[in-house]
Chain A
Amino acid sequence: MSKLQWMMITGIVLFLFACSKSEQLVAIFQGFRQPAGFPAPAYKLANNPVTKEGFELGRKLFYEPRLSRNNTISCGFCHLQASAFTHHGHDVSHGIDDRLGSRNSPPIMNLAWNTALMWDGGVFDLDLQPIAPITNPVEMDETMENVLQKLRNTPPYPALFQRAFGSTDITTARMMKALSQFMVMLVSDQSKYDSVMRKQGVTFTDAEQQGYAIYRRHCSSCHQEPLFTDQSFRNNGLGAGPNNDRGRYNVTLNPDDQYKFKVPSLRNLAYTAPYMHDGRFYTLPAVLRHYTSEVQDMPTLDPLLKQGGHTGFSLTATEQEQLLAFLQTLNDKKFVNDTRFAEEAP
């Protein structure tokens, strides 16, 4: 056999070996995947590719109470998986020392598609998001410097950072990137609605089908499929609350943005009560009552909620039932039970 033939054979063997190795890795950890029918993510994955080690470190940090001043509150404290990573049953969340915040803790799901974070969009990059609750006096009331110092002194964090990022250095950027890797993986795309749309042998009931049509007529311009939000900021006529939270205006200082808040997704509503930025509605019928008869006219009220000279829109009792039936198809039981996202047993 000639030298050339030997080289070719060696090359082919090496090539096959490389293939089988990478296939094995894929089988173990799939990383971030864009679900069928979903748009391209907004999060810049190229700047932070999701790895098994980074994701696992992010998960550990998410459930780490050392992120708070007195080591009592973790991210998972106000973002419970069983509640689609929100704080079920709390209109506004209580953080450290039982101090109350002013807004309802939003669910952490499908954040990879969020163009801005927080009810007012004040945070424009997921990598910067955790700094807000960590340093907020009513949430975790800690400094980033202290958090990094605690992690440096707490095994196995240095080793985990080494696995994820190649050295034991624990920096703000690495900590944020790890948390982002965990959070972008929190994808909810396994509801009944998704199965129906993907034609996976499931169909809507008659009531759900009617409800879907009602949703398309009255809700879909803001709560756009498939994420069930258009990521915009709108005033839905709630009227000013007792603390006169002006929402988006606080960030832009534009008077046209007064009382506007981010359009929340309609996914997983069964797990995320109460509703609205201040958690003022405990049930979905209360939400529908708002839209049908309680929308308050204000200068920045969304024009879609003021058509033909009256506010809100009307739905018969039957239509409301049908709409609620459809909304139930957006609940993703697999998401709230996915063991990959749960806190590891200590």
Chain B
Amino acid sequence: MFELAFQAQREAVRLVAAVTVVASAEGKEWREIAEAAGTTEASARAHWGGAKAAELLAETSSTAGRRTQPTTRMAMAFTDGVLLPVVLAMQQGAQLLGNALKTLQRNLGVSPEELTQRAEVPVPAVHLVVDGQAVAPWTLTYVLIDLMEDDPEEIKWLWERAWYGRCHRDLAAGLGTLSAAFRGARIAAGTPELSAVSRRAGLAPEEAVALFEGRTNPDRSVFSLLIASLGADPEGLWPPQVPQHMTMREPQSGGDGT
């Protein structure tokens, strides 16, 4: 009973922090937030200011987040009206996805309010997703990317990393399997010039172009160099190792045998 009560108390604190983040993102001043909370501005800042709020929202509890939730998830990948709150284990992935969405939003010159209006979702939902504080199911993420006139495939890799904690791809599937990861990470990095990216990664410019266009597949070290040069963690974006005995591919026969 005590455990339940303390858990409810912790969740309430997290909820207040989330609401404050949204209010702040919507342009509310600390004075207004403090007034609504019945406290002083200094106290409100101390309790729910940027770093503190992020810490509270990222806090891993026994019930929050897929990594620490062994029973069942509350949200499925294809659904509406549900956001997955970010916990420590998925913070980096959610931040990367949020950065990518922010870049697209900036490139198109559209405000979060316009975006939410077009997507017909609540304003806080878009704020939380773009700020990397929550991950939306693929349905909403897809709609947002589509509204921002980009190819959802480029961002899907980042979404999988944020939602499932890993990216599932068959590296034996052919050329260009990893190129979407490069393009997504580049968008998340604010779309830097390819020449700058290749220089930072120590690659020849033409090699970097071939990798981004999917004309060649990199080995793991080149993949890591390129992803790290875009400010992302290569470990989280590299597809999981598939044991040798699982990678045997069936003959891709031309006939269907029917």
Task: Report if A and B associate in a common complex.
Answer: no
